[in-house]
Amino acid sequence: MKLEHPTLSQFVLEQEAEHGGTGEFSNILLDLGVVGKTISREVNKAGLVGILGDAGLENTSGDQVKKLDVLANELFINYLSKTQHFCAIASEEETDIVPLPQSAQANYVIAFDPLDGSSNIDFNVSIGTIFSIHRRLSNIGPGTLADFLQPGHAQVAAGYILYGSSTMLVYSTGHGVHGFTLDPSIGEWLLSHHRITIPQQCQVYSANEAYAHTWDAVSQKFLEDFKRTTPQATSRHIGSLVADIHRNLLKGGLYFRPYDNASKRQAKLRLNYELKPLAFIVEQAGGYATDGQRNILDITPSQLHQKYPMIAGNAAIVQQYEQKYVVAARSLPTPSGYQ
């Protein structure tokens, strides 16, 4: 009997041999795999051990924090702060960056959303963890805020762990996108999706259309035209960004969350730990992600918890949107709530 799928460790070692490297990245990915397995275990038993529900706090972005958000955040920080890979960590659930003086010589910083899709936690709907890794800009010592405020194109790796009907780890180090499925019976990540590329045809669109009335006229018209002229496309919106992007990567699709005025839940997507890493994955899979006017990966963040819109998916359709939006943007007011 033989293992039909390479394990994560076999695969990252092969990749390291193919693309060169010091082995540090292989170790980082394996460590992220360990944290992912641990969070997956907690998510799977959450209903039985009383860790569903609100933690009774609000985070910096004003979201209601769930108990599982807190747990995933603590697991991530505790584990990664002992690995010596990172000189600082940033998390959606932490107001400021967490500098790591004990790893002052480390070359990298990591930003993450410990649990994306928190509003779905209590209902057994897919949620995920998203991560973004940069080489530090600072010379030595604990990492600094400036190490995180780099455009997405400067990421050296990004990815996510999706807790769905099975648990998957999807990552890119700039050499394509690879997906692994957790086989819980042996506790291993097995390569199940080698070199993910977005199918040419756009089969699905994902938008929270409850907010459509708050979008600018160009975005409203674009989605209406898209629906009329793309008969094969159906609507699927989970409300966990990571799960929506994952499905659209595999199926061919459009994620649509434009600038939004006047909504009380305006501007929910965070640039540093949601949009940059997912846009990196989308681009590595042959797609494109924009805020309407420019590639998400070209935006230099000015703040840690900065929020942005994103339209992402099949390159041709996203570029069509961008062309229309850029022309109109000259006369559109700047939406409030975005920096």
Positions annotated as catalytic residues are 63, 69, 92-93, 113, 115-116, 274
If DSSP states are collapsed to H, E and C, what string results for 248-311?
Answer: HHHHCEEEEECCECCCCCCCCCEHHHHHHHHHHHHHHCCCEEECCCCEHHHCCCCCCCCECCEE
Token duo for residue 33? 């795999």
Q: Determine if 244 is a binding residue for Mn ion (CB under 5 A).
A: no
- Is residue 92 near Mn ion by the rule CB under 5 A? yes
3-class secondary-structure state, position 75:
helix
When the beta carbons of 9 and 60 are compared against Mn ion, the nearer one is: 60
Distance separating alpha carbons of residues 260 and 25, to the nearest angstrom:
38
Stretch that binds Mn ion, among 73-81, 115-123, 255-263, 305-313 (CB under 5 A): 115-123
Residues of this chain that interact with ligand AHG (CB under 6 A) are 63, 92, 113, 116-118, 208, 239-241, 265, 268
Beta bridge partners of 255: 206, 312
Quick one: 46 or 218, whose CB is closer to Mn ion? Answer: 46
Pick one of 7, 59, 103, 116: the residue that binds Mn ion (CB under 5 A): 116
Task: List Cβ<8 Å contacts ≥24 apart for 12-15.
Answer: 15/173, 15/175
Q: How far apart are CA 68 and CA 129, in angstroms?
A: 11
The minimum distance between CB 11 and ligand AHG, in angstroms, equals: 28
| Minimum separation from the CB atom of position 267 to Mn ion (A) | 13
Among Mn ion, ligand AHG, none, what does residue 260 contact (CB within 5–8 Å per kind)? none
- The listed partner (ligand AHG, Mn ion, none) that binds 16, CB under 5 to 8 Å by sort, is none
How far does CA 173 lie from the centroid of its chain?
14
The residue (of 106 and 115) whose beta carbon lies closer to Mn ion is 115
Cβ-proximal residues to 102 (8 Å cutoff; 6+ apart), any chain? 81, 84
Q: To the nearest whole angstrom, how small is the minimum distance from the Cβ of residue 34 to ligand AHG?
A: 22
Residue 191 touches which member of ligand AHG, Mn ion, none, C-beta under 5-8 Å by kind: none
| Residue ranges binding Mn ion (CB under 5 A) | 92, 113, 115-116
